[in-house]
A and B are shown apart, each in its own frame.
Chain A
Amino acid sequence: MSTRSLSKGCFVFKPSPKRRKVSRTTADYFREGNSDLEDSELRFATCQSLQKQVKSETEQIEEELNEQLFDNLVSFLRRSHSAFQEKTTEWTWRTKSREIPTAALVLGVNVTDHDFTFRSLSEVLQNNVTPYIALLEAKDCPGIKNLMQKLLGQLMNCCIDVGSSEEEDYEQVSHTRVRCSMTSLINWYESATKRTDSETPGKKRTSSRHWQSPPVVVIFKDMESFTTKVLQDFVVISSQHIGEFPLVLIFGIATSPMIIHSLLPHSVSSLLCIELFQSLSCKDHLSTIIDKVLLTTQFPLKLSEKVLQVLINIFLYHDFSVQNFIKGFQLCIVEHFHSNPLSILCCQLEEAKRRVNSLSHNQCENVRRLPSFRRYVESQVSEKQIALLTADSSLKEAVRKLLEDLNVYHENYFPILRCLHVFTSSLPKYPLGKQIRELHCACLENRVWETEEYESSLQLARMLNKSDLVTMLQKCVEILVSSPGREFDEIVERLKEFLTQFQKLEETYQERDESVSPQKELQKKTNLYNLQKTLLELKESRRSKKLTKFEMLRFEVVDYIDSLVRRYLVPADHKTLHEIVYFNTASVLREHLNAAPRIALHTALNNPYSYLKESSPVIYFAKCEPEVRFILRRSTHKIKCHSVFIDPLKIQQVVTWSISSSLLRIVSGQENVIFG
């Protein structure tokens, strides 16, 4: 069956039941696509487990990040709802509050992530507050009628779901169209709540989970895209009935809360009792993700500087979407395990050591081919070199050791990086960047201590005041104590020593202060001449610049930090075997995530030889005289102007381009093709 047809644009293909082969699994595809068949199954398994880990970790992080916001929302619902529950003086309440409690949820510009937030929000509410939740999107609600339809449909379905009643009931609801009005909504609500009230104790679970007479929550996912009229109508209509059932609105806002007032006139917005909620900004979100996923030793796969740069740039310049960032990271994982045969060793250290033992000869050769390993071999003595290059066993031994080194390097790298960040993030103008990711990139790129920015930040650090310095040192101590690195005891010891020294200084200062103060008393009584003299002396002493004790100590601290940086923050690509754990083909990532179709078209039309590499690229332009070149260019212009795709390869030579007849003759092969 062909997919070319003049009468049809859609073609469905089903597998023929006759020749049902053993269907291939994902792992098979993983293996097939590989030029290198080494250990592909194990690699795939590792890849999958890592992906799963990352997924659960990121989800958990997100949950934690949203927790605060959701807690606030739930308590808001409770507060607004309590009024309804206490139906003591129902009439007064009803007349008093024509106001609908409304939560304005400012979510920021990363619209692509909103779906995720709303999904987890409705999950949370469903689990803890109410089964009656409706999620409305602007594209579904062009008019008030559609909105009501959608609303009722969602509410009635969800009530059935929770009530876990029979199929018939469900069918009934979805097929007999209820007249979509507020009255039917209220009737439905009353019957629904009655039903749950009269439920048998066997179904206690559901009713205990939710509140008594649970509120109806209507979420407007994208407030900005709703038409003013629909929103106004809905608000006005529902405010009429607010006394009869507990309605709560949640507006999802991407821009600013001002939008409510610009969308709704005062008469309508006064019917809303708005409370503002702010979600975490997407930048903070990203920082947390990077901090917890990339800047730990928890996951064996690391990203090289360029890759990280590409991901961050896509985030910053394109979508602000944390989800896309995570997706990019997932792609990195797949790509790394797919393309690198040695990625089999990209797992936890113990496991990796075990895997080293079972490396095949081919894999050993792969290791030998690694540039970083070659450098390592070259640095060894000649006997060792021969052993490494010929004997697999000694190679494995070395690899084990090197992997361990690499692990230790990472264990040290991240805490020290954080310590350095404590310093650099408090300097004026942030020469090394405000975010830790910037610092991380700088450290990965090259030796950070050789950069100008580092130099200037050290200089600035030498001018820090004491209290800042002390708090920073304390933070560093905290970081180092909480990290698992083995070599940090000594460093912590040293830092604590600094801290006590500062403490002592403080005491001596206080003493000196006391001794100075009577002197000051004296000075007050001296005459002008004496004062001048003392001032001059003071100036002199300052010029001679005797470093105070504090300054000495400050220098020491900064120098010590500097030494730590030099020792631990060596760029990763200076490390042997870094290829195993670092994914560094940024171009692949960019091609797949941030493609440039326009550029591809442009290149294909202008310089097809970049694609057809084998043929000599000289022919095309070298053969042509300048005027021909011009005409060729014109012809592409023409192609562009009229959107006619003329195969650029067919144009081999152009004879004339005459203006009066606008004739473009193109000789293609032996045949003259005349356009015009």
Chain B
Amino acid sequence: MSLAECRSAGALEVKFVPDEDVLRHIADDAGVKVQKGKSQLIVNTKRFVKKLEAISDDEAQEILEEKNYVAVLGLCGEESMTNGSSVGGGEVYTFQTPKRSNKMAELASELAQTPGQSVVPDPSECPEKTARTPQSSKRSSSNQVQQKTKKNEFVSTTPYRLRRRLAAPDAQLESESEYSASCSEEEEVEEAQKEVSTVLSHQKTPAKTKAVSTPPSRKTLTKKKDNMNNLVEEYFEAHSSSKVLTSDRTLQKLRRKRLNQQTLHDLLQKSPLAYAAEIKELNQQYESLFSKWMLQLHLGFNIVLYGLGSKHDLLEKFRTSMLQDSVHLVVNGYFPSITVKSVLNSITEEVLDHIGTFRSPLDQLEFIMKRFKEVWDQAKQSLYNWLWYETTTFSPYVEETSYENSLLVQQSGSLALSSLTHVLHSLTPNARGIFRLLAQYQLENKDNASYPGLSFQDFYQQCREAFLVNSDLTLRAQLTEFRDHKLIRTKRGADGVEYLLIPVDDSTLTDFLEKEDEDV
């Protein structure tokens, strides 16, 4: 990990701190600096330990139940050909739902019954600390802020997972699994964020908040009601300590401009496919199953392939090697405009050579069934005898995702821009001028969120002044042309006036105008 690089970038850096360090740090600080608070701290921990044991017991129960269910299903992974399915249900990322809502309420009410003792950091109680925090909040080193404020955090509102680890530090230290490591890291980040926000709101220095990377606003809000009713605060406190399940650092928040399609493609192209040999071997393994699939298909079963990785190549190979002698139909489900109708049509028109149309898909289906009566018996057609085969290929989903927009690619609308210029180049200079006028007007108003568009009358006036049109009929004809190319959109306002809009985002429009200027 290159620290220097990070510092120079002026970034807030996160370092891995093992659990024991955190503990030591907290214990030391508490011991040296917060002597007053120390006894309290111990009392606190003890109380928390009790509560958390109860909670974790319940959790354990849940996990146990899950495991039971898994065991009941006869999951005996040892025999499995691929170990892929040997993972128990409990270990998989789940769509989590907050199950402990009332448990939280209980916790809150319990906390509320012991008000004001230590839960809210009282400045008067530890003056040393409050004296220090302003200094540290200048943040010469962001690391320090974290560390220092962490101890503050502990006395006040430690996230409950940390508390839990305090409750059973030995067990955690022994089983230093990768998961717990990552967990702690994540937690620290959260903690740090939260903590900074807490401190800031205490000191009422809102300017500082900008330096912090977007603290969750909910927490700040709850903190601001510091002097409010204890119960309310503690309730939200308890809630806020529930797990943050997914990261809220989305790609939208990135400052760096996204790559364009080509760059991303090149980058991915350049990086070699790792473990090509193994993947090939894996695929060969699946290919050896082809004749078994054929057997099962013949015996009236259907086959589903699942697992990570594109199965396009595998299926293509299966098709070419096994299905050459039979009529078959390939349907690409990822194709964006696929419909039932198109599938049925290709059956009736191409397989059955039927010419003509059908009133509804159901009629069509009946027709197909009539023709296939001798092929499909009733039982088979009503029951899809699915057999599942795991074929994890690790092949990239190149084809399948080609219709989708990648999140890593900047949606620059280069396509839109090129089509825009393309269309306009085929128009008369006057028409171009008209569009330009509209574009400019739209850009002038781009900061106006409620900009309805340019009203037709105004537009006509402007065009006349620029000697672009001589009657509103010519303008209308021109606009119709634009509309046909989907260059503009018209909208009727509340007053019945027609408003014109270019349905292209501002940056593209700016680019377009710049380009136009160059050309001229």
Contacts and interface: CB of A to CB of B under 8 A. Distances in A.
Interface of A: 3-4, 8-15, 20-21, 23-24, 26, 29-30, 32-33, 51, 112, 115-116, 119, 140, 306, 309-310, 313, 317, 323, 327, 330-331, 334, 338, 585-588, 590-605, 608, 610-615, 621, 625-630, 633-634, 637-638, 640-645, 647, 649-650, 652, 655-663, 668-669, 671, 673, 675-676
Interface residues of B, number: 121
B73 A313 contact: yes
18 contacts: A10-B332, A12-B347, A26-B295, A33-B295, A330-B299, A587-B76, A590-B73, A590-B85, A600-B392, A605-B308, A611-B82, A614-B281, A637-B247, A643-B407, A652-B274, A663-B254, A673-B268, A676-B254
A610 B83 contact: yes
Contact of B278 (A310, A327, A614): A614
B250 interface: yes
Nearest to A330: B299
B340 to A, nearest CB: 11
A661 B182 contact: no
Contacts of A660: 9-12, 213
B397 interface: yes
Given A587-B80, A593-B388, A662 B407 contact: no
B342 A327 contact: no
Contacts of B2: 655-656
Contact of A610 (B6, B82, B327): B82
Contacts of B306: 595, 597, 600
B408 interface: yes
Given A327-B385, A602-B92, A116 B307 contact: no
A12 B307 contact: no
Given A10-B329, A14-B351, A671-B270, A661 B256 contact: yes
B81 interface: yes
A269 to B, nearest CB: 30
A595 B390 contact: yes
Contacts of B345: 10
Contacts of A310: 73-74
B205 interface: no
B330 A3 contact: yes
Given A592-B388, A599-B85, A658-B12, A334 B73 contact: no
Contacts of B247: 634, 637-638, 641
Contacts of B18: 626
Given A593-B387, A612-B279, A641-B250, A10 B295 contact: no
A655 B271 contact: no
Interface string B288-299: 011110111011
Contact of A140 (B343, B350, B362): B362
Contacts of B75: 590
Nearest to B378: A119
A313 B13 contact: no
Contacts of B85: 587, 590-591, 595-596, 599-600, 603
Contacts of B271: 650, 668-669, 671, 673
B338 A10 contact: yes
B79 interface: yes
A660 to B, nearest CB: 4
Given A585-B79, A591-B80, A309 B185 contact: no
A29 B294 contact: yes
B188 to A, nearest CB: 10
Given A590-B75, A594-B73, A4 B399 contact: yes
Interface string B346-367: 1100110000000000100000
Given A338-B292, A642-B407, A331 B301 contact: yes
A31 B32 CA distance: 79
Contact of A629 (B80, B178, B397, B408): B178
Contacts of B346: 10-12
A29 B396 contact: no
A287 to B, nearest CB: 19
B497 interface: no
A8 B345 CA distance: 12
A675 B271 CA distance: 14
A575 to B, nearest CB: 21
A15 B181 contact: no
A231 to B, nearest CB: 20
A317 B399 CA distance: 37
A10 B342 contact: yes
Contact of B267 (A21, A597, A605, A671): A671
Interface string B162-178: 00000000000000001
A15 B326 CA distance: 5
Contact of B292 (A33, A590, A613, A645): A33
B9 A323 contact: no
B494 interface: no
Interface in B300-357: 301, 304, 306-309, 312, 316, 319, 323-333, 335, 337-338, 342-343, 345-347, 350-351
Nearest to B359: A177
A599 B92 contact: yes
B384 to A, nearest CB: 10
Interface in B34-91: 69, 72-77, 79-87, 89, 91
Contacts of B74: 306, 309-310, 313, 586, 590
A583 to B, nearest CB: 13
B213 A338 contact: no
B11 A334 contact: no
A603 to B, nearest CB: 5
B307 A26 contact: no
Contacts of A115: 382-383
A615 B278 contact: yes
B378 A3 contact: no
Contacts of A591: 80-81, 85, 388-390
Given A592-B387, A655-B2, A661-B11, A600 B84 contact: yes
B330 A10 contact: yes
A283 B301 CA distance: 25
Contacts of B385: 327
A29 B290 CA distance: 9
A342 B281 CA distance: 29
Contacts of B12: 658-660
A356 to B, nearest CB: 26
A626 B73 contact: no
B246 interface: yes
B132 interface: no
A650 B271 CA distance: 8
Given A13-B329, A611-B84, A663 B256 contact: yes
B338 A9 contact: yes
Contacts of A662: 249, 253-255
A201 B175 CA distance: 89
Given A587-B76, A627-B1, A662-B253, A331 B185 contact: no
A149 to B, nearest CB: 10
B200 to A, nearest CB: 17
A116 B379 contact: yes
A5 to B, nearest CB: 8
A655 B6 CA distance: 10
Contact of A602 (B82, B93, B273, B326): B93
Contacts of B185: 627, 630
Given A12-B327, A626-B18, 15 more contacts: A10-B330, A10-B331, A10-B332, A13-B323, A26-B295, A587-B81, A595-B388, A597-B388, A600-B82, A605-B308, A615-B275, A630-B182, A645-B396, A660-B10, A663-B256
A629 B128 CA distance: 38
A21 B325 contact: yes
Contacts of B89: 596, 599
B73 A600 contact: no
Contacts of A594: 73, 388
A108 B291 CA distance: 39
B89 to A, nearest CB: 7
Nearest to B401: A645
